Amino acid sequence: SAITLGNIFNDIIEMDKLERRKVQLDNQPVDFTGFLADLENLSGLLAQPKGLQFVMEPQTPLPQQIVTDGTRLRQILWNLIGNAVKFTQQGQIVVRVRREAQEKLVFEVEDSGMGIPQDEQDKI
């Protein structure tokens, strides 16, 4: 829980930087296997109180380590998963990750919620 609080604090600081347009990427080696395990565990805990099922579907082989801004990647995925939980009343949230090219990973977040209205999708 201390790690989670630290992540929330970092998110607040980063949001402030983003609003002031002072965001800089900090690409560092990231234990991708551990990153995905943490994401799965925390997301499952977030979905559980609503009775939602959380499913992580990694398409192997995936690298054990990647070079990225782990904080930013976590923030983006956490926001997508958080919104999926928020707007899903029943069913499941699925996160898929696959390697599309040697240096490219693709993440998909799918839920059984109401979805984004067609006229709002252009704003994303």
Show me where the domains of the chain are located: 26-121
- Omega before 61 within 30 of 0, i.e. cis: yes
With both helix axes pointing from N to C terminus, report the angle between 70-86 and 2-19 in degrees, rounded to the nearest 10: 100
Q: What is the pLDDT of residues 83-122, one digit of tens each?
A: 999 999 999 999 999 999 888 999 999 999 888 778 887 7
The CATH number given to 26-121 is 3.30.565.10
The model's pTM is 0.77
